[in-house]
Amino acid sequence: METVKANILGRDYSLACPPEEKATLEAAVMHVGQLAGRIQGSGKVSGNEKIAVMAAIQIAAELLVVKSPEGPLGSLSVGDFKRKIEDINAMLDTADAP
């Protein structure tokens, strides 16, 4: 297991994950931290708990838009999406080869 250290709204978190998921978890931590910081900076919401709930709602809304039938991933399962990304990466690797 890998450990990802995070500081969101002044609180430290230590998160464990498999090595292959570390980059994704770090990106998620950064996304949550930035969103929570923007919400806090707006001055419209006070209290870390309320800010965290607002950030969670916004992230859930982003996910639902992506997963909706009209969204870019509406017809794909997570496994299909991962395979498509792997296929694209393989094509890029062969395109860069001499």
Domain ranges (residues) in the chain: 2-96
pTM, whole model, 2 decimals?
0.67
pLDDT at 86: 75
Its CATH class, for the domain covering 2-96, is alpha beta
28 C-beta neighbours (distance < 10 Å), count = 16
Query: Rounded to whole angstroms, how far apart are CA atoms 11 and 20?
Result: 25
Per run of 10 residues, the mean pLDDT along the chain (length 98 residues) is 92 92 92 93 90 90 75 68 74 62
The answer to whether 35 and 59 are in contact (CB under 8 A) is: yes
